[in-house]
């Protein structure tokens, strides 16, 4: 295991353009549960389609509102951990050019990272489903959910059944195409189109690294896999 860390340290030092791709496993050490961890994942005993989908927003509105109000409360209760701070430090040192994240907790920006692509949106804002006007998430938490235009005000996250924001996709493609080193932190790589980016990086001859507690869908594609290690600890070792 030690030589894997040593190898990755060298790759990071030698890379002119490193991009990091994060999933929910990046925030579990802050206290936020992920989605598919065998024992604690949110989707272990809840159906995402009944809570985090356009159908849920239409046909299970109270369940939808309650689910996202709980998630906002959790995000506001916890904060970024040392690993988020390491990534922000690397960006300042020029060792990391961009973060592409599936996470909606805003922890990368809170830790100081600047160039962050939020593929699945953010829980820090809400917007009207009709006129798209955006508001601080407080309006959703206070349940002032009717927009002046008559639309429904919902969290600014990408729901199952929705397309990703064009501007985020374009930004993520641009960063991925430039990557010499593409490091996945804490994602099962189960969900498309987000899981297209590690493949795209590989197709652009980047070195692909996957650091994840459990096996992922793309381990056999990677140049280096560091399994069964906590991301916080690995980032600590890499930053020494
Ligand atoms: N260190 C290393 N790996 C970890 C840690 C940790 N501390 N904690 C969790 N993991 C790993 C788990 O083993 C799991 O494989 O992180 C992975 C998280 O995978 P998922 O729970 O599937 O989360 P993610 O890949 O981000 O899900 C993608 O699915 O529900 C949607 O929109 C939601 O953005 C989310 C998307």
Together in a domain, 45 and 21 = no
- Residue 160 CA: nearest ligand 1 atom is 32
Give the residue from 111, 139, 157 where a domain finishes.
157
Identify the sign of the CA torsion 231, 182, 225, 184. Answer: positive
Q: Which two tokens stand for residue 75?
A: 């995000």
Mean pLDDT, the chain, integer? 97
Quick: pLDDT tens for 138-175. Answer: 999 999 999 999 999 999 999 999 999 999 999 999 99
Q: Could you tell me the pLDDT band of residue 1, with boundaries at 50, 70 and 90? A: low
- Residue 42 CA: nearest ligand 1 atom is 21
Give the residue from 131, 157, 183 where a domain finishes.
157
Average pLDDT for 182-209: 97
Together in a domain, 73 and 175 = no
Range of the domain at 113: 2-31+79-120+164-239
Together in a domain, 17 and 127 = no
Q: Which of 33, 82, 186, 215 to mutate to test the pocket of ligand 1 (most atoms within 8 A of CB)?
A: 186
Check residue 107 and give its pLDDT: 98
**CATH number for position 145:** 3.30.1600.10
* pTM across the whole model: 0.97
Q: Could you tell me the pLDDT band of residue 39, with boundaries at 50, 70 and 90? A: confident
Annotated active-site residue in 81, 108, 120, 171:
120
Which residues have any ligand 1 atom within 6 Å of their CB? 23-25, 28-29, 34-37, 41, 48, 102, 120, 186-188, 190-191, 212-214, 230-231
Together in a domain, 132 and 186 = no
Say if residue 113's pLDDT is above 90.
yes
Together in a domain, 19 and 84 = yes
Together in a domain, 132 and 210 = no
Check residue 2 and give its pLDDT: 77
Together in a domain, 186 and 151 = no
Together in a domain, 115 and 134 = no
**CATH number for position 89:** 3.40.50.1220
Q: Which of 29, 187, 229 to mutate to test the pocket of ligand 1 (most atoms within 8 A of CB)?
A: 187
Q: Which two tokens stand for residue 135?
A: 């508001």
Q: Could you tell me the pLDDT band of residue 190, with boundaries at 50, 70 and 90? A: very high
CA atoms within 13 A on the CB side of 233: 9
Burial 158-197 (b: 16+ CB within 10 A, else e): bbeeeebbeebbebbeebbebbbbbbbbbbbbebeebbeb
Q: How many domains, in total, are found in the chain?
A: 2
Question: Above pLDDT 90, what percent of the chain?
Answer: 97
- Residue 187 CA: nearest ligand 1 atom is 25
120 is catalytic: yes
Together in a domain, 126 and 101 = no
């Amino acid at each position: 295991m030690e030589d894997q860390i040593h190898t990755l340290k060298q790759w990071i030092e030698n890379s002119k353009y490193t991009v990091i791709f994060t999933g929910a496993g990046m925030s579990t050490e802050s206290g936020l549960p992920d989605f598919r961890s065998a024992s604690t994942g949110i989707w272990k005993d809840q159906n995402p389609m009944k809570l985090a989908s356009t159908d849920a927003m239409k046909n299970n509105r109270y369940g939808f509102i309650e689910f996202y109000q709980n998630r906002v409360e959790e995000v506001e209760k916890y904060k970024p951990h040392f690993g988020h701070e390491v990534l922000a430090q690397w960006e300042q040192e020029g060792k990391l050019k961009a973060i592409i994240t599936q996470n909606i907790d805003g922890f990368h920006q809170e830790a100081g990272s600047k160039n962050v692509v939020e593929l699945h949106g953010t829980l820090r804002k809400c917007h009207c489903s009709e006129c798209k006007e955006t508001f601080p998430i407080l309006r959703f938490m206070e349940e002032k959910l009717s927009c002046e235009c008559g639309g429904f005000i919902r969290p600014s996250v990408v729901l199952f059944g929705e397309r990703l924001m064009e501007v985020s996709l374009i930004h993520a493609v641009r960063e991925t195409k430039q990557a010499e080193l593409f490091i996945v932190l804490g994602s099962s790589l189960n969900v498309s189109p987000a899981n297209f980016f590690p493949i795209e990086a590989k197709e652009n001859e980047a070195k692909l690294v996957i650091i994840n507690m459990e096996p992922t869908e793309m381990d056999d594609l990677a140049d280096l896999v560091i399994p069964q290690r906590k991301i916080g600890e690995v980032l600590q070792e890499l930053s020494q």
